[in-house]
Copies of this chain bind each other. A is one copy, B any other.
Amino acid sequence: MAEHTIAIIGGTGDLGFGLALRWARAGVPVIVGSRDPQKAIQAAQRLEQTLKLHASGESLQVSISGTENAQAAAEASVVVVAVPISAQADILKSIRGSLKGAVVVDTTVPLAAALGGKPTRMLRLWQGSAAGQARELLPSTTPLVAAFHNVSAGVLQDLTAMPDCDVLVCGDDDAAKQAVFPLIKLIPGPRPIDVGPLEMSSIVEGITALLISINRRHRIHHSGIRITGLDSQS
């Protein structure tokens, strides 16, 4: 997949770090973005160390760097935004001028916890979803998909574990989806599943709150969802 360079905006957070780890391991050049370039560089170093620990003797060929968010976005062909809802708008504004035709993958989940509420409840955004908010804040020409909302960040960060879930992909731009699907397939476990237009993210984002509720109720940590009835499709 060397045709893509992936920037992870918010790559120092749990989900961003987990995704960076998986893609770097699969050989994709990864740029960790953070508001603080020092933190981004440290996260990149931590990624490399984690991968070396797990490579155990095998030769390790990875390309990982860290830099400030807008710079990271400028250098990538796929820009994954993995930031809390409280930071989403500001960060999208800070990177939108730097995008060079990249596909943006929004992963934001508007949990009520952002306002001090319960993590099992959702905020209702005027645009219907965090993805809808991203659509509004990005240039209309920026290809946008929403995905990865329901994948356990903890499992992604644990290279000995395999995510037992699917990645539901929402978007209005089929070419953008097609660009992202092979990247999802590089992560062992999840199937990428096209669930329809971007507005479906309203429901997909909510599933994260549902999984948090299931985790609490069953005293587990990594519930997930799988779609049935698709046969071998992706």
What is the interface of chain A, defined by CB distance below 8 A to chain B?
Answer: 120-122, 124, 152, 164-165, 168, 193-197, 199-200, 202-204, 206-207, 209-211, 213-214, 216-218, 220-231, 233
Contacts and interface: CB of A to CB of B under 8 A. Distances in A.
A226 to B, nearest CB: 5
Copies of this protein, total: 2
A214 B221 CA distance: 27
Contacts of A227: 211, 214, 223-226
B224 A229 contact: yes
Contact of A122 (B165, B193, B203, B229): B203
Interface of A (DSSP majority class) = mixed
A228 B217 contact: no
13 contacts: A122-B203, A152-B229, A165-B229, A197-B213, A200-B210, A203-B207, A203-B209, A203-B210, A220-B229, A220-B231, A221-B229, A224-B229, A226-B226
